[in-house]
Chain A
Amino acid sequence: MKNRLSLFNVTSLALGFAFLYLPILLLVVYSFNASRLVTVWGGFSTQWYGALFRNEALMDAAWVTVRIAFLSASLATVLGTLAALALTRYGRFTGRTLFTGMVYAPMVMPEVITGLSLLLFFVAIGFDRGFWTITLAHTTLTMCFVTVVVQARLLTFDRSLEEAAMDLGAPPLKTFFAVTLPLISPAIAAGFLLAFTLSLDDLVIASFNTGPGATTLPIKIYSQVRLGLSPEVNAASAILIGIVTIGVTIATILSKRSLARAERNAL
């Protein structure tokens, strides 16, 4: 019985991961296709990568996207961490219910609504649409994700560590920087990465809030894709996938190593 169960388990994992990874794999494989027809294999070639780097519009869009992602993720990390502290350390303050509502709603609210409402807001206050409006919009969305990630860490945080620091003579602010911050920093870093990726990836909110000179990569890719499949987009995608894979692999290895160390030392 045990064997049959585990065979079933292995099969579901294998099928699940095949479903998740095959499309991405095919995308990467066909980025090396010599043929302009994306679905017909015409031999191996790296020509589309060359074309990609010569495509100035695409490169500009990539640069704009990275700048927006970095800025908004940094802002979101600060705001989200403050919000998480407020929600876990400030007990019942006035407006707490409204606060939690405003933190959770943007995460599940359809992006079209968030995008539209921010756009109307920017128009209403006469703020020119462009780089900054996208940055502010992304900050608002992604700070909520940072809040949830950091909040989860703070809730499992052993409060007696902070009490110990205070007991040993460290005032609250010093306690925060000497004990709390170092211990929640992995969660903060994870929150930053999440915010960065979400911003990098967003099409809908950026489309609503974009303006002259602020075409992000997703907007650019989307407009190309609507015209049909393009091998250049395949190449761009493959590069993005490569970067993410390397990053996540390194992070996994690092966390695995620290886990192994902890396990070894527990013996």
Chain B
Amino acid sequence: MPPKTSSVGAVRRTFSPWSDPAAVPLIRFENVTKRFGDAVAVDNLSLNIYESEFFCLLGPSGCGKTTLMRMLAGFEEPTEGRITLAGQDLAGVPPYRRPANMMFQSYALFPHMSVEKNIAFGLKQDGLPKADIAARVDEMLRLVQLERLAKRYPDQLSGGQRQRVALARALAKRPKVLLLDEPLGALDKKLREETQFELMDIQHELGMTFVVVTHDQEEAMTMADRIAVMDHGRIAQVATPGEIYEQPKTRFIAEFVGDVNILEGKVIGQENGLWRVETAASPTPLTIDDPDEVLHAGQAVAIAIRPEKMVIRRGAAAPGTQNAVTGEVWDIGYLGDWTVYRVKLASGEILRVSRANASRFVENPIDWDEEVHLTFAPDAAVILAE
């Protein structure tokens, strides 16, 4: 692990069992494949998830993330490979005997049962004494702050309240792992942000393992300890949010998580540990600091640069400036916190640059059609082998 990356992102620095070779994973997917007829939903996938981890499965719809979760819950059986949970092979174990509970995307609250009956449902299946069930239900209602709505029915609740009931119901049995299928998908933006942090607090408080399926990269970035980005039934990268964003392994990940500019080019060679890459965008080769990549001269590569990691200045670049491209302002989007410039280069490519609006007033701001140049530091960009 390069020392540089340990400082990026909101990583709980003391919590990283995945980098500890002695740590035993709670959940193991071992060469798991799932086929529906001819369609391959999950393709020979291996993955470890550790105890107390907040783990996100992120990917576009149809990437297999939901299938992966449903195999863990027991609603689907793997075609090949095996899944273990706390050392137990889950093959043939029906959903109702697995120590994993799920919060459904639709919430799946039983409409004919009150809030407390819904929460008590799982406990009743375990045959707990009545007093214990009541105590646990109260505890759960307190946890999600719904004490006053215990007697209500699902159709008498708001969307946010339903979401909390679904969460409380899945948590009530204290499962070894809580599965959350698009937990915030049905909420509006404001509520979604609040709830993200609530979920993180609850997870932290209970120390439970959370596995979340989501297609929303912001949600995954905010909440997860680690993210597995999935594409076509395979895992494209498993890493902390910071690593996913700053060191994407593939073009798919770079483009799926956040905004990115891609410049196609050819490797010239290495100088002082820095890669020199020839592109159509710049007359002089670009210098990129990405020591992990093993490349050879003449290799076609893509350079990925995040919009906020470039600096925009008026006028053409002075000759000899490192990593500078010149173009004209094509569009300006004012977002309040950020201003986004779309700059058209002489080569025809359009790059996005964003600038934080750190002060309220800017004198003589850059305008449409002005000539500008963009610069970036060698370590601001990442090389992605094609």
Contact = CB atoms under 8 A, between A and B. Distances in A.
Nearest to B95: A166
Contact of A179 (B110, B157, B169): B110
B102 A167 contact: yes
A38 to B, nearest CB: 50
B104 to A, nearest CB: 5
7 contacts: A158-B106, A165-B121, A167-B74, A167-B75, A170-B125, A175-B96, A265-B153
A182 interface: yes
Interface in A219-259: none
Nearest to A174: B125
Interface of B: 73-75, 94-98, 100-102, 104-106, 108-112, 121-122, 125-126, 153, 155-157, 169-170, 173
A200 B95 CA distance: 45
Interface in A32-65: none
Contacts of A175: 96
Contacts of B97: 169
Contacts of A182: 112
A163 B94 contact: no
A178 B120 CA distance: 13
Contact of B125 (A158, A168, A261): A168
Contacts of B169: 164, 168
B121 to A, nearest CB: 5
A161 B108 contact: yes
Which 8 pairs between the two chains have the least Cβ-Cβ distance?
A168-B122, A169-B125, A164-B108, A265-B156, A160-B108, A166-B95, A160-B104, A166-B96
Contacts of B106: 158, 160
Given A163-B75, A163-B95, A163-B104, A169 B173 contact: yes
A158 B156 contact: no
A266 interface: yes
A161 B73 CA distance: 14
Contacts of B122: 168-169
B108 A183 contact: no
A193 B101 CA distance: 39
A164 to B, nearest CB: 4
B146 to A, nearest CB: 15
A171 interface: yes
B144 to A, nearest CB: 16
A167 B112 contact: no
Interface in A136-193: 158, 160-161, 163-171, 174-175, 178-179, 182-183
